[in-house]
Structure 1
Amino acid sequence: MNEQEESNKKQKTSNESTEFLNFDYEFPLDAANVIPPENSSIPEDLFTFVTDINDIAPEPPLEIVTRINSQRQQQQRQRQQQQNKPIVPPNQGVYTIIVGGKPFRLSWESLKSDGPSNFFIEYFKKKKTRVMQIDRDPDIFELIVRHLRGYYIRSTDDIQNQSLLYDATYFGLNRLKKLLQEYSYLNVGGRVFRLPWTLFQKDGTHNFFTGPLMHSLLSPHTEEGNSPPIYIDRDPDIFADIVNHLRGYTIHIRDEMHRKNLLKDAQYYVLRQLSDKLLTAQQTVAGFGEGSNAEVLLLLQDVRIVNMLPPKVTNLSIPNMLISQDWSLTQIQYKRVKDGTPHTLLVQVSDLCMQIHKSAATVKLMYEMNHADIKKMNSMANMAKATRGVNMEIYIDKYCAITIDDNQVKSIEYCMENDLIDTNWEACTKCDLEDCQMSRLILQRAICGVHLVDNMITLCALRLEAISSRFRLNLKREFLSG
């Protein structure tokens, strides 16, 4: 090799070293270009950019870090909710519900018509299926399907209505429940009545229908299962009359037996206003000309003790049968249920044994009552605070209408003086007077005022019908036909 070639070779090597030290690389690099020569050195300021991280990126404030973490957590919760959120089907999607083996196909719009939530909506939202199987009555569910499709449905009897109410509760169909609870289906003596619940409130808010019966029918599910339809073992014809009365019609009372049966069922159903009307055989105006006072006439056993009011005066005493003082001041008042207005109380008694006691000084009438009537009279005495109990002497008003043996008479004394009645006198063993004699009458019925006299409950007859002897009694007996 000549000197010129060797000089060129050294110059080339020097240039390559200088290029390496000046990092004048061409891209792409290869392994030969990346590996430095053995005698090369790295400049001191090569890594001056590698410094403390705090000098390059200072730590952000705590408020910013907290806000960023809160945003990240919220975004994470939203993503999780979106993953768990049920898929709401389209309104016209068809779903199959198999009830008791019978398939029913309904749209999503029909299923949610009785909503916003019910058994079907919650099921299909959670389950990724369009088929459901339920072990219920398909005939009852067919009516429910009509309801969900927007049609009006009506039960045919009390059993079907109760079954519909069961399933409406089971499926959570609140609109159907409200519809079914507007009417009651009552089986009274084998006859089914469909009546609105509001009808029974016309006789007050507390009665047989608006109390335990309503609760039992409208809450059919019990611990033992579903309660059966209500059967009321009463006369359906009498109940029909009561329903007509509640509807505003006047009841035609055919006879006394019909009135008693109506009263008995009205009391059974706790219809107080109707009972009060039936207890009132008649209302009259007391007094003649000046002033007046409403009266109420009740059978003795029909008097409600809680409706009695004390008299105006309690210390009046009456010496004999004829009344000379202000008799009205001692009369018991009676408060009617409907309006609460005080009425003068009159009672009707019947089938009593009445004794006539006469002496040189006085004439008086005594009566004997059965156990039930005496018990009622004692209760009335307690209510009126009659400390001496019941007066067994009956007084006769001076205007009393008296009928004896079907004949109208002026007074008992007049009959005795003119021998107008058949009397068998005998010595009295009950009175202290030695000259007292006693005879008996059969008091068929009498209308009496109820008074408080000498701290005793006392009856004053306003009208009475009596029979004077057994002979007269036998004359009134009737033969059998045929």
Structure 2
Amino acid sequence: MALFQDPSDHVFDPAVPQILPYEKMYLVQIGNKPFRLSGASLSSDAPSYFTEYFSKRQNSVSATHVNADDDDALVIDRSPQIFELIYHHLQGYFVHIRDEVEFTMLYADAMYYNLPRLRAQLQHSDFYYACIGGESFRVPRGLFWQDGNSPNYFELTYSATYADIEHIFLSKKLIRPPPQSPPFVNRSPALFKDILALLSGATLKLDDEKRQSLILECRYYRLQNLEQRLLKCSVGWNPLLQRSEIILNLCDIKKAGLSLPPPSNVKGCISTPSTRTPSPKSPLDDEPVSPPPKKPKVCTEKNWAMTAYKRPFVDREFHELLFQIDIPDVTIQFNKRSKTIHVCLSGEAAHRFEKVFGGLLLDNVVDVATYWREPSLNSKPSRVLALPACMSLCDFKVNGVKIRSLRMLVEDPQFTSQVPDLTSKDGATALGIRIYLTKSLWKLGIINGELMMVAIKAEGISSVREHNRSLEFL
């Protein structure tokens, strides 16, 4: 008889099959403690070790016509403390399990006594039991109902651990289940309490350090929905562009959440020539690539498609993506000779950009590999990702001073120096300006096999002296 119609709904069939006489009492001694159970109680979870034993004894008595002593006990060498729980279960009561040790021992004895209904109840229990950092937790399964929070660490661990025990016990026909230590997680119990509070709907005041710690814990426990909700993020409405925007750190962007909607005109965007070697016309190109302009100009002829993003498991709609880069080794380079602007990423910043956007760009006939450069300046070669950039829409600060006009910045002699000519692959240099960005906010535009980094907001310094001025004494 199927006692669980659907494990996910925990449907219980209260009917008790009449395997043993309901009113007859049976004596069972577990360890050093005797228990008396009715035939109804033993039949409520059957067929089992008990029903098979007493049914055989009853049939043997009937065949030999010898009266059996009702006080003849079935003696079993197992834990009487754990059998107390089974005793209440057979009587029809709810079984309260205190911790992971009791749960593990009860599961082992449910297999030993071959109690199918109790095993099903434990397999589909409303709680996970685990020791986290030395502290016992009884975690409601219902907390993980949101898409992305399942399958999680507990679900996978329980499924693998207890399924393996049962498989070994049944397949090898062991006398008793093999010993199994209860689940232990070597993580912070305090942080796990915060995770449970957040899953329960609580709001916590988090500083950056605490937030990052909780994000790492979510990744460990595979709570992807909660992880996305913990990321620092801003979603708002741009009334001028009439679309929603999302601001995320580059490190927090998932490739799966990216999209490229139809183009939308970005007025005032400077058209900067690409640094990559022109490729043959792609079947996806509507027009051949135009020659590079000799002077910066308003990009009215290019209708850039701006990258959009939807947080996995959280957002229902895509938002236009603004991504923040606060990793070191990001510079803006103005080339006075070619009238071009590039944002140069190296180290971790370049790796992150390529990892996040490489697939989307390749899908749109933009190969990130063609933007890598190895400029040599002052005999110090370095490998950088040199991306064409637009600064005309940017709220820009250099050395703490807001830049009102890019033209005035470029023409200011105090910032002029030799910079690599990123439009050339021969290691040439040219007069220009290099600004080291400390924080910056960008949009990524794509059209006809080209990309454009559109700066929204940026802060930078121009020299070592300015860096030293920003330092604070301990």
TM-score by length of 1: 0.70
Match of 2:198 in 1: 245
Match of 1:123 in 2: 53
Given the alignment of the two structures, is residue 298 of structure 1 paired with residue 248 of structure 2, yes or no?
yes
Asked whether the 8 Å contact 1:203–1:246 carries over to 2, the reply is no
Asked whether the 8 Å contact 1:428–1:436 carries over to 2, the reply is yes
Displacement after TM superposition at 1:354 (Å)? 0.9
CA distance, structure 2, for counterparts of residue 326 and residue 262 of structure 1: 46
Equivalent AA in structure 2 for residue 369 of structure 1: S
Match of 1:10 in 2: none
TM alignment of 1:461-476, pairs within 5 A:
461-476=455-470
Match of 1:403 in 2: 397
Given the alignment of the two structures, is residue 261 of structure 1 paired with residue 237 of structure 2, yes or no?
no
Asked whether the 8 Å contact 2:445–2:451 carries over to 1, the reply is yes
CA distance, structure 2, for counterparts of residue 226 and residue 205 of structure 1: 31
Match of 2:224 in 1: 272
Please list every run of 5 or more consecutive structure 2 residues that lacks an aligned counterpart in the other structure.
1-17, 59-67, 170-177, 273-295, 372-385
CA distance, structure 2, for counterparts of residue 141 and residue 401 of structure 1: 71
TM alignment of 1:349-428, pairs within 5 A:
349-350=325-326, 351-360=328-337, 362-371=339-348, 373-374=350-351, 376-377=353-354, 380-384=357-361, 385-390=363-368, 392-417=386-411, 423=415, 425-426=417-418, 428=420
Given the alignment of the two structures, is residue 91 of structure 1 paired with residue 33 of structure 2, yes or no?
no
Deviations 1:356-389 (A, max 9, x none): 3332552523313215633642652332324342
CA distance, structure 1, for counterparts of residue 451 and residue 306 of structure 2: 10
Match of 1:165 in 2: 107
SS of 2:233's equivalent? coil
Given the alignment of the two structures, is residue 152 of structure 1 paired with residue 152 of structure 2, yes or no?
no
SS of 1:395's equivalent? strand
Equivalent AA in structure 1 for residue 57 of structure 2: K
Match of 2:142 in 1: 198
CA distance, structure 2, for counterparts of residue 372 and residue 190 of structure 1: 39
Change over 3 Å in CA distance of 1:188–1:210 after alignment to 2: closer
Aligned residues: 388
Displacement after TM superposition at 1:318 (Å)? 5.3
Equivalent AA in structure 2 for residue 407 of structure 1: V
Asked whether the 8 Å contact 1:357–1:436 carries over to 2, the reply is no
CA distance, structure 2, for counterparts of residue 259 and residue 326 of structure 1: 44
The equivalent position to 2:168 in structure 1, one of 223, 226, 236, is 223
Given the alignment of the two structures, is residue 140 of structure 1 paired with residue 82 of structure 2, yes or no?
yes
Equivalent AA in structure 1 for residue 77 of structure 2: D
CA distance, structure 2, for counterparts of residue 415 and residue 388 of structure 1: 31
SS of 1:141's equivalent? helix
Equivalent AA in structure 1 for residue 49 of structure 2: F
TM alignment of 1:20-39, pairs within 5 A:
none
SS of 2:94's equivalent? coil
SS of 1:106's equivalent? strand
CA distance, structure 1, for counterparts of residue 458 and residue 265 of structure 2: 27
Equivalent AA in structure 2 for residue 230 of structure 1: P
Displacement after TM superposition at 1:464 (Å)? 1.0
Equivalent AA in structure 2 for residue 256 of structure 1: D
- The higher-RCO structure (CA 8 Å, 6+ apart) is 2
TM-score by length of 2: 0.71
Change over 3 Å in CA distance of 1:238–1:406 after alignment to 2: farther
Displacement after TM superposition at 1:348 (Å)? 1.3
Asked whether the 8 Å contact 1:99–1:134 carries over to 2, the reply is yes
Equivalent AA in structure 2 for residue 276 of structure 1: Q
Percent of counterpart pairs with the same letter? 25
Asked whether the 8 Å contact 2:398–2:460 carries over to 1, the reply is yes
The equivalent position to 1:104 in structure 2, one of 28, 35, 38, is 35
Equivalent AA in structure 2 for residue 212 of structure 1: L
Structure (1/2) with the larger helix percentage: 1
